[in-house]
Amino acid sequence: MKLKISKTKQEVALNFSRYLAILIASKDTVHIALSGGSTPKIVFDELAANFQEDIDWKGVHLYWGDERCVVPTNADSNYKMTDEHLISKIQIPKKNIHRIKGENDSEYEARRYAELLIKKLPRLEGIPRFDLVILGMGDDGHTASIFPHEIALWHSPRLCEVAIHPDSGQKRVSITGQVINQAKAVAFLVTGENKADKLDEILNKKGDFEKYPASLVAPQSANLVWFLDAAAAAKIKTNQS
């Protein structure tokens, strides 16, 4: 596990974009699961504004780790956010975009997306293997759309599950723990002081840290990087940067 702590959110975006550019340059075909949330939005803006020359998107396939069950034109849609901030601004073939269809019946979509992952991705031990899964962490310790009150979904034998947001009751389709932990690499993007307490518990293994889904992220490849800003990392004791 590696920590990459940057001073500001903007620097997190820059450092992650550099990491992504190197990863994409290393292979002809790269399968990446994206996340929703505020930090990816800044990253997408950085990629669109400053990495046009550095990244050839032709061999990149984009998927989502989770999606809100809404139509793709809804303001809540992770696809919509990604389209506005990244996809519409880069040269990527349409056939490389594999969105979770939030407008479909959620149970149907969880099954359909699982089949799509089986079809499109290389597999290890029968489980689809992303080159990179990008994750955020909520201030309640959730990741993808696996929330603490439904932590059992993390351990599901299925590749995708239907989750319910604890406050809004909104349905989400999310990949499960076995898919996340089978990835060749996992990168967390976490910024802001409201994340500091949970990061302290999870990274310093304090108290009931195991009740937070984000604490269960432990790829078999051991290739896990936490991209944090100083505010989020305020309570972590480390010499790394």
Query: Where along the sequence are the contacts to ligand 6PG (CB under 6 A)?
Result: 35-39, 66, 78, 136-138, 142-144
Residue 45, amino acid: D
Residues 163 and 144: their CA atoms lie apart, in Å, by 10
Tell me if 229 sits within 8 A of 11, measured CB to CB: yes
Nearer to ligand 6PG, 54 or 230 (CB): 230
Q: Is the Cβ of residue 114 or residue 144 nearer to ligand 6PG in the bound state?
A: 144
Q: Which two tokens stand for residue 203?
A: 């990274």
Distances, alpha carbon 117 to alpha carbons 61, 123, 190, 222, in Å: 11, 9, 26, 22
User: Shortest Cβ contact with ligand 6PG: which residue?
Assistant: 136
Q: How far is 176 from 178, CA to CA, in rounded Å? A: 6
Q: How near is the Cβ of 78 to ligand 6PG at its closest, in Å?
A: 5
Q: What are phi and psi of 71, to 5 degrees?
A: -70, 155
Give Cβ neighbours of residue 218 (< 8 Å, ≥ 6 apart): 181, 224
Residues in the chain: 241
Nearest approach in angstroms of CB 75 to ligand 6PG is 13
Shortest spacing between CB 180 and ligand 6PG, in angstroms: 11
C-alpha span between 184 and 166 (Å, rounded): 30
Q: Which is nearer to ligand 6PG, 36 or 177 (CB)?
A: 36
For the bound state, the minimum distance from the C-beta of residue 3 to ligand 6PG, rounded and expressed in Å, comes to 17
Q: How far is the CB of 2 from ligand 6PG (least distance, A)?
A: 19
